[in-house]
C-alpha cells in the first residue's frame, strides 16, 4: 500500500510539473518583461529624457552652427551627422536605463520571483533584451529623424540645410538610433554581470568614456589602435559622417559594436546559469 501511495504521489507530481511547464513559454517571459517595463514610471522618464535631449540639442546645434557657418567651425560641425551629437548625453541615459532594467530586480529582490517563474533562467535574459531593444529602437528611430529635421529648420534659416538624400545623411540618422539601442543592450548585459546598479553604471561609463580617454594619453600608436575597437569609437565610425584617420569603416564599426554586445550578453548568460541555476 505504501509503495502504491508513493507511486501515485510521484505520478501526481509528474502530471503537475508537466501541466505547469508548457505555461513557461518564451512568449510568456516576453509578456512579463513588457509589463515590468511599461508599468515602471522611471523607465519612461529616462527614455523620455533621452528623446528630449536628442531633439533639444539638435535644435541648439542647428541654430548655433547655422549662425556661425561662415566663421571658423570644426569639420564635425559641418557634416550631416553634426546635429545628432545629442547622442553623447543620450547614450548615458539609454545605457543607464539598460542597467536599471536588470539590476533593479536584484535590488528589490524581485529577481527571485522572476527566476522561480522561469526555472530555465536564460529565457528571462533573452526576453529582457528583446523587450528593451525593441522599445528603445522603436522610440529612437523616430527621435533621430525628428532631431535631424529640427536642426535642418534652423540650418535652413541660414541657408545651410541638408536633406536626407545627401551622402551619409540617412545612414547617420538610422545608425545613431541603432548605436544607442546597442549601448542600451550593452548596459543591460552589464546589469546581469555585476547585479548592482552603481557597479553596472560604473562599468558602462568606464567602458564608454574613461577607457577611451586613458588610451588617448598613453604613449605609442598601439593604444590608439586598440581605441578604435572600443564600443564608443566603433560606434562613431558607424554613425558619423566624418571618417577620421585610422577609424574603422562604418560596416566594420557596426560589426565590432555588435560583437561587444554579443560577448557581454554571453558572459551574462554564463553567470546567470552558474549563479542562479
pLDDT in tens, 126-185: 999 999 999 999 999 999 999 999 999 999 888 888 888 888 999 999 999 999 999 999
The stretch 207-226 carries a mean pLDDT of 91
Q: Residue 209 carries which DSSP code?
A: I
Instruction: Give the contacts of 25 (CB within 8 A, at least 6 positions apart).
Output: none
pLDDT in tens, 258-277: 999 999 999 999 999 887 65
Q: What is the Cα–Cα distance from 224 to 216, expressed in whole angstroms?
A: 6
pLDDT of residue 24: 67
Residue that is written with C-alpha cell 543620450 in the block: 90
Of 13 and 90, the one with more pLDDT: 90
pLDDT of residue 54: 97
Comparing CA positions, the residue from 176, 205, 184 lying closest to residue 135 is 184
* Three-state secondary-structure class, residue 240: coil
- Burial annotation 136-162 (CB, 10 A radius, 16+ → b, else e): bbebbbebbbebbbbbbebbeeeebbb
Q: Is 60 exceeded by the pLDDT of residue 5?
A: no
pLDDT of residue 234: 95
Q: What is the Cα–Cα distance from 173 to 78, expressed in whole angstroms?
A: 15
pLDDT of residue 119: 75
Q: What is the Cα–Cα distance from 115 to 108, expressed in whole angstroms?
A: 14
Comparing CA positions, the residue from 178, 134, 162 lying closest to residue 78 is 162
Q: Is 90 exceeded by the pLDDT of residue 72?
A: no
pLDDT in tens, 105-123: 988 888 888 888 887 889 9
Burial bucket for residue 192 (CB in 10 Å: 0-12, 13-18, 19+): buried
Determine how many CB atoms are found less than 10 A away from the CB of residue 190: 29
pLDDT of residue 276: 60
Mean of the per-residue pLDDT values of the chain: 87
On whether the CB atoms of residues 233 and 247 are closer than 8 A, the answer is: yes
pLDDT in tens, 243-254: 887 889 999 999
pLDDT of residue 114: 83
Residue that is written with C-alpha cell 546567470 in the block: 272
Q: Is 90 exceeded by the pLDDT of residue 229?
A: yes
Q: What is the Cα–Cα distance from 17 to 19, expressed in whole angstroms?
A: 5
pLDDT in tens, 49-71: 999 999 999 999 999 888 888 77
- Burial annotation 84-116 (CB, 10 A radius, 16+ → b, else e): bbbbeebbbbbbbbbbbbbbbbbeeeebeebbe
Handedness of CA 154, 159, 162, 163 (dihedral sign): positive
pTM of the model: 0.88
Amino acid at each position: 500500500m505504501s509503495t502504491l501511495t508513493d507511486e501515485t504521489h510521484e505520478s501526481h507530481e509528474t502530471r503537475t510539473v508537466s501541466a505547469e511547464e508548457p505555461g513557461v513559454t518564451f512568449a510568456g517571459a516576453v509578456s512579463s518583461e513588457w509589463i515590468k517595463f511599461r508599468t515602471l514610471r522611471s523607465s519612461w522618464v529616462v527614455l523620455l529624457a533621452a528623446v528630449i535631449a536628442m531633439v533639444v540639442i539638435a535644435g541648439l546645434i542647428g541654430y548655433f552652427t547655422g549662425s556661425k557657418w561662415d566663421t571658423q567651425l570644426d569639420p564635425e560641425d559641418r557634416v550631416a551627422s553634426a546635429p545628432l551629437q545629442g547622442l553623447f548625453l543620450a547614450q548615458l541615459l539609454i545605457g543607464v536605463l539598460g542597467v536599471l532594467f536588470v539590476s533593479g530586480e536584484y535590488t528589490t529582490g524581485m529577481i527571485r520571483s522572476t527566476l522561480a517563474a522561469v526555472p530555465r533562467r536564460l529565457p528571462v535574459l533573452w526576453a529582457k533584451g528583446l523587450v528593451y531593444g525593441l522599445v528603445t529602437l522603436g522610440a529612437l528611430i523616430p527621435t533621430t529623424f525628428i532631431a535631424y529635421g529640427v536642426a535642418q529648420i534652423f540650418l535652413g534659416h541660414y541657408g545651410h540645410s541638408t536633406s536626407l538624400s545627401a551622402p551619409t545623411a540617412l545612414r547617420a540618422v538610422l545608425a545613431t538610433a541603432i548605436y544607442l539601442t546597442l549601448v542600451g543592450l550593452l548596459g543591460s548585459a552589464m546589469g546581469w554581470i555585476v547585479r548592482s546598479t552603481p557597479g553596472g553604471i560604473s562599468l558602462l561609463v568606464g567602458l564608454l568614456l574613461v577607457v577611451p580617454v586613458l588610451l588617448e594619453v598613453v604613449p605609442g600608436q598601439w593604444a590608439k589602435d586598440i581605441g578604435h575597437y572600443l564600443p564608443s569609437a566603433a560606434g562613431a565610425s558607424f554613425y558619423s559622417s566624418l571618417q577620421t584617420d585610422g577609424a574603422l569603416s562604418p560596416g566594420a564599426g557596426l560589426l565590432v559594436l555588435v560583437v561587444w554586445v554579443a560577448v557581454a550578453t554571453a558572459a551574462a548568460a554564463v553567470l546567470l546559469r552558474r549563479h542562479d541555476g
